[in-house]
Amino acid sequence: MRLRCKNKDEVVEKVTKHFRTSPLAKKMIIIDGAKIIFDDGWAMIRRSNTEEMINLRFEAKTEDKLNEIQSMVMEQVNKTMTK
């Protein structure tokens, strides 16, 4: 998923910070963005180096879990993008 985002650095930083302290995130890998690992899936957020865009990827063991992870992450993205 790609989203146009003028404050891409702030969005990636704040979403990463939120999940760094969340008990739902079991592990986080910080390389050129953040890969947030949950019990049954993961989400990745990174900023584009060439455009005003952020890139998001999601994967989970079930479709329900995928929707749950995507909703959690997108809630944080949307909070930051509207500020």
What secondary structure does DSSP assign to the chain, as a single string?
Answer: -EEE-TTHHHHHHHHHHHHHS-TT--EEE-SSSEEEEETTEEEEEEE-SSSSEEEEEEEESSHHHHHHHHHHHHHHHHHHHT-
CATH number of residue 40's parent domain = 3.30.310.50
Q: What are phi and psi of 16, to 5 degrees?
A: -60, -45
Model confidence over 20-78: pLDDT tens digits? 999 999 999 998 899 999 999 999 999 999 999 999 999 999 999 999 999 999 999 99
- Please count the structural domains in the chain: 1
Range of the domain at 36: 2-81
Average pLDDT over residues 4-28: 94
**What is the pLDDT at residue 78?**
94
Q: What is the pTM of this model?
A: 0.88
